[in-house]
């Protein structure tokens, strides 16, 4: 009985192992390569799959999701013989599990080596300055080459990124000095532009101020002249209305002579020639007034001669001297 029990136990174990090998569960976004006696038979997709135990075998399970692989820095020589270290990042996706298994031994290593060689070819045709400023161009060229080469491997390169481009230390120092000089130059130019603009605005302000001041002075002078003209016109009209003669003018001049002589430096007087004629007329008028007063005094003395006792009441006026 014991050998039979042992055989039954062995059979149960074998059946259990066979069931395990028969049922294959493949996760989502994954694929499995099935070989029968070492030869490719089919590709298992996601879900529950049944294979022949002990005849079919699972060779490889491949992730069909997009993968990100960073590559270490690679030294690359530019066209101007400068060595730069470039870090790259590759975004790829397996589209054909069979080709990725049988067409290349290790597609990760193959992509890395292809990236390095392609990158050296691209950077070798550029100088350092263009290399630093043409990342998009390098990414596009590198992606085109990789996508074309990896298509037969069942791999699609979705994106290539240059993570870092590091020139030599001496070149970095030179670039920093150049950038600092450019910044100082731009700062000096901006300062000069600011000073120039400030001077222009100041000059414009002074010009406008001078123009406004001149216009104000011109208007004030015009108003003063108009006022003086109006005053002269009013005086002239008053004199014309009063019918002034030479006597009145001579009298006004005599009144103005003390004011003219008030200054200590006034040693020379200029007397118009017409004033002489006016003064003669004024002196004649004053002479005519004198005899009339004498006549009035004589009559008074005659009438009062009986009272005063002879000539004491006579009034005499002398003509004032005219200088």
- Maximum separation of any 2 CA atoms in the chain, in Å: 212
pLDDT at 319: 41
- Degrees (nearest 5) of the Cα angle 124, 127, 130? 115
pLDDT at 243: 63
Task: Choose the weakest-confidence range: 31-45, 282-296, 301-315.
Answer: 301-315
Q: Which has the closest alpha carbon to 174: 100, 68, 44, 80? A: 80
Taking CA atoms, 136 is separated from 45, 82, 93, 160, 265, in Å, by 37, 21, 21, 10, 95
Taking CA atoms, 34 is separated from 27, 43, 266, 279, in Å, by 15, 6, 136, 150
Mean pLDDT of 12-21: 81
- Judge whether residue 7 has pLDDT over 60: yes
Instruction: Compute the mean pLDDT over every residue in the chain, rounded to the nearest whole number.
Output: 77
Distance CA 102, CA 152 (A): 11
Distance CA 106, CA 275 (A): 133
Greater model confidence, 153 or 261: 153
- Among left, alpha and beta (phi > 0; psi -120 to 50; other), residue 310 is left
- Judge whether residue 313 has pLDDT over 60: no
Quick one: CATH architecture of 66-173? 2-Layer Sandwich (3.30)
pLDDT at 283: 62
Q: Which residues contact 137 (CB under 8 A, 6 or more apart)?
A: none
Q: Which has the closest alpha carbon to 247: 292, 280, 290? A: 280
Q: Which has the closest alpha carbon to 59: 39, 41, 35? A: 35
Q: What is the pLDDT of residues 51-68, one digit of tens each?
A: 888 888 888 889 999 999
How many residues belong to the chain?
A: 323
The beta-carbon contacts of 291-296 under 8 Å, at least 24 apart in sequence, are 293/317
Q: Which has the closest alpha carbon to 141: 164, 163, 112, 120? A: 120
Structural domain spans, the chain: 17-62, 66-173
The first and second tokens of residue 165, run together, are 């481009």
- Judge whether residue 304 has pLDDT over 60: no
User: The whole model's pTM is what?
Assistant: 0.51
Helix (H) or strand (E) holding 87: strand 83-94
């Amino acid at each position: 009985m014991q050998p039979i029990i042992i055989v039954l136990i062995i059979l149960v174990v074998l059946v259990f192992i066979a069931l395990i090998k028969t049922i294959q569960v493949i996760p989502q976004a994954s694929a499995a390569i099935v070989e029968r006696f070492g030869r490719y038979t089919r590709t298992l997709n996601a879900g529950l799959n049944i294979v022949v135990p002990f005849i079919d075998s699972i060779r490889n399970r491949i992730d069909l999701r997009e993968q990100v692989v960073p590559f270490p820095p690679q030294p690359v020589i530019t066209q101007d013989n400068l060595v730069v270290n470039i870090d790259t990042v590759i975004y790829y996706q397996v589209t054909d599990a069979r080709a990725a298994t049988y067409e290349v031994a290790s597609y990760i290593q193959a992509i890395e080596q292809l990236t390095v060689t392609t990158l050296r070819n691209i950077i070798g045709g550029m100088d350092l300055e263009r290399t630093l400023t043409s990342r998009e161009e390098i990414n596009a060229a590198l992606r085109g080459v990789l996508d074309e080469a990896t298509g037969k491997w069942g791999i699609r390169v979705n994106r290539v990124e240059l993570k870092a481009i590091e020139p030599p230390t001496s070149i970095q120092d030179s670039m920093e000095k150049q950038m600092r000089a450019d910044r100082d130059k731009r700062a000096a130019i901006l300062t000069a532009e600011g000073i120039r603009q400030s001077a222009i605005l100041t000059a414009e302000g002074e010009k406008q101020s001078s123009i406004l001041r001149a216009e104000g002075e011109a208007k004030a002078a015009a108003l003063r002249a108009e006022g003086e003209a109006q005053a002269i016109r009013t005086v002239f009209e008053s004199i014309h209305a009063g019918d002034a003669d030479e006597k009145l003018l001579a009298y006004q001049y005599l009144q103005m002579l003390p004011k003219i002589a008030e200054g200590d430096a006034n040693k020379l007087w200029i007397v118009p020639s017409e004033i002489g004629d006016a003064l003669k007329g004024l002196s004649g008028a004053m002479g005519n007034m004198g005899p009339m007063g004498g006549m009035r005094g004589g009559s008074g003395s005659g009438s009062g001669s009986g009272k005063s006792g002879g000539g004491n009441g006579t009034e005499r006026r002398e003509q004032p001297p005219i200088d």
